[in-house]
Chain A
């Protein structure tokens, strides 16, 4: 849609009607532009307000804020290491669990399912994404955590605990709630996001490529692994990063099951905390400027981390789109 054509309006004569039309055009155009700029300003506003809110904490603790594990409201000393560690570890765990399952779902939906089954299954998986995170939280706390505590964690402790190196991750008492449980819940939450992107990416693979594979006598799996996957690698990574972005910032589900302990345990079975869980738990009750500011500083760190991840994901998906377009 181009600019309003002044020439055409002038051709009709400088009537009052044309003037009114031009005025409305200008008003509407500027209204849409303003709305678009509001979206832009929001991101700026969020960034500035987080930085302003976090300034007292950053200027007081300096770089030590990032490297210290201590979190003590009584002595007013705060460090971000434990929540940052918890955020990263739970998210990585979630990815490790979610990637294979999402890949399987995407393969099933694009290559395997009969046509009548594709839609219902696809919608059902997408509905999993519509369930609010607080529901995952109470389900995780009251259903999943007891199951993990009774059946899964004792097994992990018995069989993986004595192993060298990795064994340390699976030692200690089975609390039920903790880092591992949070990773598990997060995995269930991000499966629909990752599988949806992977499915879309797989569908952009040209049929000719797949057919050439089959024509050479490849099995379905060989076509998937040697034709579809290499062709859609960038897009798949983009989808995984989007899922990672979700997992990093997820709040309520994690708050229920992480146990909220400001420490770095060597075991995945121990309670921990994440950035978002710390903020959700403590912000409303935080007294004192430094305490509040430290929590906002945590928020600023989280924003920085998720922003980089999401930006990278979008960049990759964009590149994927461009390539798909130039291939057509």
Chain B
């Protein structure tokens, strides 16, 4: 073999392997989705959305868990979203080049990748011990703390995409920065910011670890924010590890439900972002 043949062979081999690697990555995505569909569809029925989580051995649904997940995710994003947006605004506009901003950006990155179970422990110390019992609001606060860094990051990125000329034009007309931000920059970055919020919702709606010792779980229908509340991830966790077939079946259905909603949310968010950036490039 000549040196040239060897080089070409190595080239094909390496590129072929990178194709294989990609195929492996995609294979796992589809393997997981297929397992969820196969096991989850069997349990999909109307009663899933109308009945409470059952005791072992009898039939039931996931109504209280679905309700709890929706409520805690919403309260979480209602607390974490606005704070995150304002903080992102500070980083992108008022404090763009300050040293404080550099520190906060770094801290935000750390929070963004901090283990979610640590956030759970923090909220346990902060709220659960003070209140004396597990509660839905503690769960929502934990989710808010996880949603916040995501929103900070996306808001800052999206505000930075707004052309400087638009900001200058507004300033030149004598507008104060707050007026420029709320009347010019926010509208221009609106879909990007909404996307960030969607991504944050997607991130927190599947979180399990921080809810284990904040919201815990509740076998029954409860709308009180100060009481333990059922939620899909913890129900999936408990039911999947239980020895009862009907609980395991519900766990698979819940898993399918939660994954599909998150995938739909993320794909929507991506479509919005790509249409945004497509227009600008």
A45, A134, A251, most chain B CB atoms within 10 A? A134
Q: Which residues of B contact A175 (CB under 8 A)?
A: none
Interface size class of B (residues with CB under 8 A): 35 or more
B121 interfacial contact with A, CB 8 Å: yes
Pairwise interchain contact A25-B116, C-beta atoms closer than 8 A:
no
Roughly how many angstroms separate A45 CA and B20 CA in the complex, as a whole number? Answer: 45
Q: Mark A1-36, 1 if CB is under 8 A from B, else 0.
A: 110100010000000000001101101110111111
Q: Which residues of B contact A296 (CB under 8 A)?
A: 121, 125
Query: Shortest Cβ distance from A235 into chain B, in angstroms?
Result: 15
Contact of A139 among B35, B82, B93 (CB under 8 A): B35
Beyond A52-B125, A101-B21, A252-B208, is A299–B26 a contact (Cβ under 8 Å)? Answer: no
Cβ < 8 Å to A, chain B residues 26-48 = 26, 28-29, 31-32, 35-36, 39
Query: Shortest Cβ distance from A325 into chain B, in angstroms?
Result: 14
The interface residues of chain B, by DSSP majority, are classed as helix
Pairwise interchain contact B117-A1, C-beta atoms closer than 8 A:
no
Cβ < 8 Å to A, chain B residues 88-116 = 89-91, 93-96, 100-101, 103-104, 106-111, 113-116
Roughly how many angstroms separate A119 CA and B126 CA in the complex, as a whole number? Answer: 43
B229 interfacial contact with A, CB 8 Å: no
Contact of A221 among B10, B93, B106, B117 (CB under 8 A): B10
Pairwise interchain contact A307-B110, C-beta atoms closer than 8 A:
yes
Contact of A138 among B152, B167, B251, B270 (CB under 8 A): B251
Query: Shortest Cβ distance from B99 into chain A, in angstroms?
Result: 12
Pairwise interchain contact A135-B259, C-beta atoms closer than 8 A:
yes
Pairwise interchain contact B212-A283, C-beta atoms closer than 8 A:
yes
Beyond A135-B255, A252-B209, A252-B237, is A24–B22 a contact (Cβ under 8 Å)? Answer: no
Roughly how many angstroms separate A222 CA and B109 CA in the complex, as a whole number? Answer: 35
A107 interfacial contact with B, CB 8 Å: yes
B24, B28, B83, B84, most chain A CB atoms within 10 A? B28
Query: Shortest Cβ distance from B40 into chain A, in angstroms?
Result: 10
Contact of A105 among B22, B91, B148, B216 (CB under 8 A): B22
Pairwise interchain contact B148-A39, C-beta atoms closer than 8 A:
yes
Beyond A21-B176, A103-B21, is A249–B118 a contact (Cβ under 8 Å)? Answer: yes
Q: Which residues of A contact B209 (CB under 8 A)?
A: 133, 251-252, 276, 280
Pairwise interchain contact B206-A299, C-beta atoms closer than 8 A:
no
A303 interfacial contact with B, CB 8 Å: yes
Pairwise interchain contact B206-A112, C-beta atoms closer than 8 A:
no
Contact of B21 among A105, A276, A307 (CB under 8 A): A105
B122 interfacial contact with A, CB 8 Å: yes
Beyond A45-B122, A284-B213, A299-B121, is A108–B22 a contact (Cβ under 8 Å)? Answer: yes
Closest to A125 in B: B25
Q: Which residues of A contact B216 (CB under 8 A)?
A: 284
B166 interfacial contact with A, CB 8 Å: no
Pairwise interchain contact A132-B18, C-beta atoms closer than 8 A:
no
The interface residues of chain A, by DSSP majority, are classed as helix
Q: Mark B131-150, 1 if CB is under 8 A from A, else 0.
A: 00000000000000100110
Query: Shortest Cβ distance from B53 into chain A, in angstroms?
Result: 16
Beyond A31-B86, A33-B90, A310-B113, is A104–B20 a contact (Cβ under 8 Å)? Answer: yes
Q: Which residues of B contact A52 (CB under 8 A)?
A: 125
Contact of B25 among A27, A49, A101, A225 (CB under 8 A): A101
Roughly how many angstroms separate A188 CA and B24 CA in the complex, as a whole number? Answer: 10
Cβ < 8 Å to A, chain B residues 168-200 = 171, 174, 176-182
Pairwise interchain contact A45-B267, C-beta atoms closer than 8 A:
no
Closest to A121 in B: B22
Q: Which residues of A contact B20 (CB under 8 A)?
A: 104
A43 interfacial contact with B, CB 8 Å: yes
Pairwise interchain contact A35-B83, C-beta atoms closer than 8 A:
yes
Pairwise interchain contact A246-B117, C-beta atoms closer than 8 A:
no
Pairwise interchain contact A123-B11, C-beta atoms closer than 8 A:
no
Query: Shortest Cβ distance from A68 into chain B, in angstroms?
Result: 22
Roughly how many angstroms separate A124 CA and B15 CA in the complex, as a whole number? Answer: 20
B70 interfacial contact with A, CB 8 Å: no
Query: Shortest Cβ distance from B133 into chain A, in angstroms?
Result: 12
Pairwise interchain contact B19-A108, C-beta atoms closer than 8 A:
yes
Closest to B33 in A: A131
Beyond A132-B206, A143-B35, A307-B110, is A279–B117 a contact (Cβ under 8 Å)? Answer: yes
Pairwise interchain contact B237-A134, C-beta atoms closer than 8 A:
yes
B71 interfacial contact with A, CB 8 Å: no
Q: Which residues of A contact B149 (CB under 8 A)?
A: 39
Contact of B11 among A221, A249, A250 (CB under 8 A): A221
Roughly how many angstroms separate A210 CA and B244 CA in the complex, as a whole number? Answer: 59
B87, B106, B236, B237, most chain A CB atoms within 10 A? B87
B7 interfacial contact with A, CB 8 Å: yes
Closest to B100 in A: A36
Pairwise interchain contact B103-A104, C-beta atoms closer than 8 A:
no
Q: Mark B199-224, 1 if CB is under 8 A from A, else 0.
A: 00010011111001100100000000
Can you report 8 A-B residue pairs in the complex whose CB atoms are below 8 A from each other? Answer: A1-B180, A25-B177, A25-B178, A28-B181, A35-B82, A121-B22, A132-B262, A306-B118
Besides A256-B240, A279-B117, 17 other CB < 8 A contacts? A1-B94, A39-B152, A40-B104, A104-B22, A127-B29, A131-B32, A133-B208, A134-B233, A135-B36, A142-B240, A246-B113, A249-B116, A276-B209, A283-B213, A284-B216, A296-B125, A311-B106
